[in-house]
Amino acid sequence: MVVCFLIHTVCPVNALSAGESRILYSRLFGPEEPTLLHRTAEQQRLAQKETLGLVARQVRSAVTASREASGRVFVEAGLGEEATALSEAEYGVLSLAHREPFAGHCAALWLGVQALAFTLVCQPHENLLLAEATLRNLTRHCLEELRLLGPGSEVLLKSDRVDALLQRFLPHGQLLFLNHRFALAMDKEISSYMGK
C-alpha cells in the first residue's frame, strides 16, 4: 500500500531558506497511526506536517546529490516541453528507517522534474517497479494536464484535479496493474475530466 504522495519543491524558493522545501500538495493514505489517535485535531495536523516535511527534506537532499553527481546543467523547460523534462528527470529510492517518520519501515520513490519533486512513500512489501511506473504516470499527467512547468502555475489551486488523478491511479492507496488497453482508456478519461 502507498502511505503518501507528495509534490514539493527541490530548488530554492524566494520565501524559504536554502535548505528548506515547500510542500505544494500532500495526500496520506491508510489508517491513522495509533500514536496520533489520542491527540487533538491541531496536534495531528502539526505532527503530519512535520512528518511530511521530513520526507520532503530527505528527498530534496537526494535530488540535490543526484544532480551534483550527474554534473548536468539545470535548464528550465517551459510549457509544451513536459515530455522532455520528464525524460531528463532524476529519480531514485530512499529507505526510510523504522519510525522515521512513519510507523514501519518504508521506501520513498522520488522523481525530480525541474524545480519540483514527486514522491510516493510505499510500504516495504510493495512492488517497487509498479510503484515507479505509477509515479511516472502520475507525474506525466500532473505536468501535462495541470501545466506545472508554466509560469505562475499554482498546484495549490488545482488540488482537486490532483485528487482526481490519485483516485484513478491510486484508489485508497492501492497500486494498480495496468495493461496497455486499460491505460489508454484511463488516459482518455483523465483528459476528458481535465478538459472540463
Question: Pick the residue with more confidence: 33 or 183?
Answer: 183
Does the pLDDT at position 155 exceed 70? Answer: no
What is the pLDDT at residue 88? 81
pLDDT tens-digit readout, 47-61: 888 888 888 999 999
What is the pLDDT at residue 6? 94
What is the pLDDT at residue 35? 54
Per-chain mean pLDDT for the chain: 81
What is the pLDDT at residue 153? 58
SS3 140: helix
- CA distance from start to end of the chain: 31
Q: Which conformational region is residue 177 in: left (phi greater than 0), alpha (psi within -120 to 50 degrees), or beta?
A: beta
CA dihedral 109, 179, 148, 107 (to 10 degrees): -10
**For 2-195, CATH number?**
3.30.450.60
The pTM of the full predicted model, rounded to 2 decimals, is 0.84
pLDDT tens-digit readout, 87-105: 888 899 998 876 666 777 8
